[in-house]
Amino acid sequence: MKANSINIRRSKTVLKPDQSRVLLRPFGPTDSRRVGRIIARIMSLPEERVGSLLDEISAEFSQRHQHIRRLFLERFEQVRGEHVAEEDLSEQRRMLIGSYFLAEYSLESAALFNPSIVPHTDQTGLPAGALRFILSLRATGEGHISSITFRTGIIYRNYRIQVLDPVGFVTEPRQVPNAAYEKGLFARKLFELGLIGEFTRRVMNRLGDSFTMQELRRGIDAEVDQERRSEGILYEDQRTALGILMLARSNYEVQFQPEQQLCERIIFPATPSQSNGVEDARFVHFQNDDGGHI
């Protein structure tokens, strides 16, 4: 039986990386003493100098990042630790300190590839026969770290494809750890990772059909303490315990702000298992038997 022929026509649409799109990422010297020295120098500045410096930095960064001063304050709270004891610092000084521990990362500086496409949930305002779509892409940036970026576009009735240009702003989502884990699914993932053995079996036996991160930690700690009280914890069991926790930390949800356009959203590596980047995303469009969306 002769297979049906398929006519293929090359599209003129080309997806090009945009090196100017940058994400604001935490910057942190590995030497704690260097962190202290940076903060000490900022603490020594007179207040009027703090204000002028902050204005200069904000003016430059706000062209590429939204809510920049809020991000400065959030970063300050992350780095203050034992380096900042004073509680009566001005908001300007706190923001200036935070700004010194942020750096820009060019998401698409190396490549943009591996597209995945699904219909957009919003099909309003289109001409007859057109379809709006969502496109995910693997973006490879500095240091060849991969993340997932998005575009939207339209396929017209005459098969012309239009990919809309992204805006300049890019923002990471808020990471939300899963409230509960399903024991059966979690056990299968442990098996796939080779994290099997007596230690894993004992930990899983301490858990219910669903469990939280806190319950998982208590189960691991209980087994580790029991081994230490008997013959001492085995090195292999220590590695298994770390592997179990790494799997749990890799299971999370992300939340974007509703007002953000899709092209402003980025899924950047956020867990130890993603240290080499987020490889790909594959989105699937489901339909009911009657053709309706699920």
pLDDT tens-digit map of 222-274? 998 888 877 766 778 888 999 999 888 887 788 888 888 999 999 988 776 67
Question: Which residue is listed with tokens 């380096």?
Answer: 83
Exposure pattern of 177-206 as b/e (b: 16+ CB <10 Å)? Answer: eeeebeeeebbebbeeeebeeebbebbbee
Is residue 294 within 8 A of residue 288, CB to CB? The reply is yes
pLDDT tens per residue across span 124-177? 999 999 999 999 999 999 888 899 999 999 999 998 999 999 987 898 888 777
Angular region, 129: left φ>0, alpha ψ -120 to 50, beta rest: left
Look at residue 279 and tell me whether its pLDDT is greater than 80: no
Quickly list DSSP for 133-193: EEEEEEEE-GGG-EEEEEEEEEE-TT--EEEPPPPS--BPPEEEE-S-EEHHHHHHHHHHT
pTM of the model: 0.72
Residues forming beta bridges with residue 163, ordered by sequence position = 153
* C-alpha to C-alpha distance for 28 and 81, rounded to whole angstroms: 13
Question: C-alpha angle with apex 54: 51 to 60, nearest 5 degrees?
Answer: 145
* C-alpha to C-alpha distance for 12 and 218, rounded to whole angstroms: 57
* C-alpha to C-alpha distance for 139 and 264, rounded to whole angstroms: 13
Is residue 238 within 8 A of residue 221, CB to CB? The reply is no
pLDDT tens per residue across span 64-118? 998 899 999 999 998 988 788 777 899 999 999 999 999 999 999 988 999 899 9
